[in-house]
């Protein structure tokens, strides 16, 4: 009998197939004692296992490239954390086996994060994966993960670690469903990059029996269990129509009446550029530079290394627009040389621009490298700062850009509600705004972006979030400047129309979403988008806002 479940759709497309579950977690090692003379040997075993796991994660990252590479390199750094190593060695010294010491040390660190209110819940999921990989290697058992199958299937998991998501084979994994996660979790971001339909935050997903046929709609978040032939045909027809529309939609982004909305790509490094170019991106709206800094948590990369990496991306978009975000470290992206190690609440501490202003040499080197990388190129370079709170922040960043001799537009990301509320003041110091809707939602609703239990508050359709977008866009228009969106909200085709109606001047997203957004925008006039935006803001909940906008655009 057909039943319908609803989670959070995070990656477009429809997948129909049999359920296969992720392997179960590594069993807890026995708590047996070792004699003192074995301690050195066990410590060596633990050290070797950590090194092997870190090397494997880095190798997986090199294969995957792009955003996945940065995430996996961060996991490798986590595995090699000196404090964790010291704790493992201490536990072995008092009688634990290597596997038990690793298990207990990582469990203690996990409990510490959970006890702090799970502000680092995304890192907790990654930490679990690191623990499982090290313990499995020490026990000599295979690492549980994506099931072996010769036939395509829909993958079900409590959550997917980045190391698993990054190397999914789209020819076998038709789509995936998780119980945990949210629209901005690592799994969601990587699913969009892969172009695999995905639904997250679905309670009870693990109870779906192995072999059950389900249909996954990654756009609506609906899961149809044992769908009827009629439902399958309906979903397949809708998917085919969507694919046909995509194939005929080319060129710059625009509404049906010619209002231009540049569609840009979010990239995590040079490896993401080919997909962006193939998707027809008109430039880069968010160039995340963290990938360069994750190679070595002890020191910043050299100026020459930065110049080389930046130029690769800039050269790919001759006469296009490339918006570079300077290093956004802190919170879930700590760097030993930059971020404090003892903050009680890193998400609300010294992160983003705050870290860079505390370490002006790091900021100066990055800005100088960007200036050198853009020399002689016709690219339209724009550089923006993350986590700008007020005009003082914006002025400090603009001054640093000028002192570095950077010939580019300077901008500010709107990720803190104060920046949206005082956007016009900030625009006295910078030339553009870029809305990071992921963090803006997190700080607006006090809802950690990695915690599935509060995923409804991370929904970019929340009317309060739309109000902040509108405030920012209105301020930019009044100042004659631009205001783009580079958060995951831009990847939702329907929401892209609403954002356009709110006055947003460009949209940046993962490359796989660009054709969907281009095709959808081309169906509606600017006036229709404005009416849909007004209807969404008049609603009281995210679901009501989505429904109201859809009703306007469908002419109901």
Are 202 and 182 in contact by the 8 Å Cβ rule? The answer is no
The DSSP secondary structure of 160-202, one letter per residue, reads: --HHHHTT--TTTEEEEEESS--TTSHHHHHHHHHT--EEE--
Read off the pTM: 0.71
* Structural tokens at position 53: 């796991």
| Confidence band, pLDDT 50/70/90 cuts, at residue 119 | very low
Distance CA 484, CA 465 (A): 15
Active-site residue, from 186, 359, 401, 497 = 186
486 counts as catalytic? yes
* Structural tokens at position 416: 């803190």
Are 200 and 518 in contact by the 8 Å Cβ rule? The answer is no
Active-site residue, from 401, 483, 486, 529 = 486
329 closest CA partner among 353, 354, 352: 352
What is the signed CA dihedral for 381, 385, 389, 391, rounded to 10 degrees?
Answer: -50
Please report the sign of the dihedral spanned by the C-alpha atoms of residue 83, residue 89, residue 91, residue 94. Answer: negative
The overall average pLDDT reported for the chain is: 88
pLDDT at 542 over 80: yes
291 closest CA partner among 240, 261, 325: 325
Of residues 25 and 269, the one with the higher pLDDT is 269
* Residue recorded with tokens 């190798």: 59
pLDDT at 26 over 70: no
Candidate ranges 277-281, 290-294, 480-484; pick with highest mean pLDDT: 480-484
Which helix (H) or strand (E) segment holds residue 360: the answer is helix 360-373
Candidate ranges 105-114, 164-173, 488-497; pick with highest mean pLDDT: 488-497
259 counts as catalytic? no
User: What are the Cα distances from residue 186, in Å, to 129, 326, 450?
Assistant: 13, 20, 8
Q: Residues 408-428: pLDDT tens digits?
A: 999 999 999 999 999 999 999
pLDDT exceeding 70 applies to what percent of the chain?
92
pLDDT reported for residue 299: 82
User: What are the Cα distances from residue 191, in Å, to 1, 196, 248, 521?
Assistant: 29, 5, 24, 23
Pairing outcome for strands 213-217 and 222-225? antiparallel
């Amino acid at each position: 009998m057909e039943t319908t479940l609803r989670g959070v759709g995070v990656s477009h497309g429809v997948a129909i197939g049999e359920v296969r579950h992720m392997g179960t977690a590594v069993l807890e090692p026995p708590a047996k004692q070792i004699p003192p003379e074995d301690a050195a040997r066990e410590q060596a075993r633990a050290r070797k296992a950590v090194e092997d796991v870190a090397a494997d994660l880095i190798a997986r990252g090199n294969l995957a490239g792009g955003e996945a590479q940065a995430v996996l390199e961060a996991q490798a750094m986590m595995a090699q954390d000196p404090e964790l190593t010291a704790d493992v060695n201490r536990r072995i010294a008092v009688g634990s086996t290597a596997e038990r010491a690793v298990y207990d040390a990582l469990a203690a660190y996990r409990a510490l994060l959970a006890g702090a209110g799970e502000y680092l819940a995304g890192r907790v999921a990654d930490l679990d994966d690191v623990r499982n990989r090290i313990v499995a290697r020490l026990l000599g058992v295979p690492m549980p993960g994506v099931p072996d199958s010769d036939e395509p299937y829909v993958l079900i998991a409590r959550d997917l670690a980045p190391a698993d998501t990054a190397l999914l084979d789209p020819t076998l994994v038709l789509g995936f469903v998780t119980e945990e996660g949210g629209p901005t979790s690592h799994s969601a971001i990587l699913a969009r990059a892969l172009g695999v339909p995905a639904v997250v935050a679905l309670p009870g997903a693990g109870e779906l029996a192995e072999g059950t046929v389900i249909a996954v709609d990654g756009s609506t978040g609906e899961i149809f269990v044992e769908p009827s032939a009629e439902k399958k045909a309906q979903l397949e027809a809708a998917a085919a129509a969507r694919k046909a529309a995509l194939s005929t939609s080319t060129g710059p982004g625009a509404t049906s009446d010619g209002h231009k909305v540049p569609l840009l790509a979010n990239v995590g490094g040079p490896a993401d550029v080919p997909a962006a170019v193939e998707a027809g991106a008109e430039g880069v709206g968010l160039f995340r530079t963290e990938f360069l800094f994750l190679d070595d948590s002890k020191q910043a990369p050299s100026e020459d290394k930065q110049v080389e990496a930046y130029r690769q991306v800039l050269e790919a978009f001759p006469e296009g627009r490339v918006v570079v975000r300077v290093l956004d470290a802190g919170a879930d992206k700590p760097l030993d040389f930059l971020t404090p190690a003892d903050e009680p609440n890193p998400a609300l501490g010294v992160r983003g621009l705050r870290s860079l202003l505390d370490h002006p040499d790091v900021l100066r080197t990055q800005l100088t490298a960007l200036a050198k990388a853009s020399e002689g190129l016709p690219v339209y370079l724009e550089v923006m700062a993350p986590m700008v709170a007020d005009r003082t922040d914006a002025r400090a960043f603009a001054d640093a850009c000028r002192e570095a001799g950077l010939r580019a537009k300077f901008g500010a990301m709107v990720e803190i509600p104060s920046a949206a509320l005082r956007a016009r003041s900030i625009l006295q110091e910078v030339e553009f705004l870029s809305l990071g809707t992921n963090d803006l939602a997190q700080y607006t609703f006090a809802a950690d972006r990695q915690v599935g239990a509060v995923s409804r508050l991370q929904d970019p359709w929340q009317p309060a979030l739309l109000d902040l977008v509108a405030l920012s866009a209105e301020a930019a228009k009044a100042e004659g400047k631009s205001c783009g969106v580079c958060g995951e909200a831009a990847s939702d085709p329907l929401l892209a129309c609403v954002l356009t109606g709110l006055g947003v001047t460009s949209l940046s997203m993962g490359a796989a979403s660009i054709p969907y957004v281009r095709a959808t925008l081309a169906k509606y006039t600017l006036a229709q988008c404005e009416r849909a935006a007004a209807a969404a803001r008049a609603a009281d909940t995210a679901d009501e806002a989505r429904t109201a906008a859809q009703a306007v655009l469908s002419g109901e």
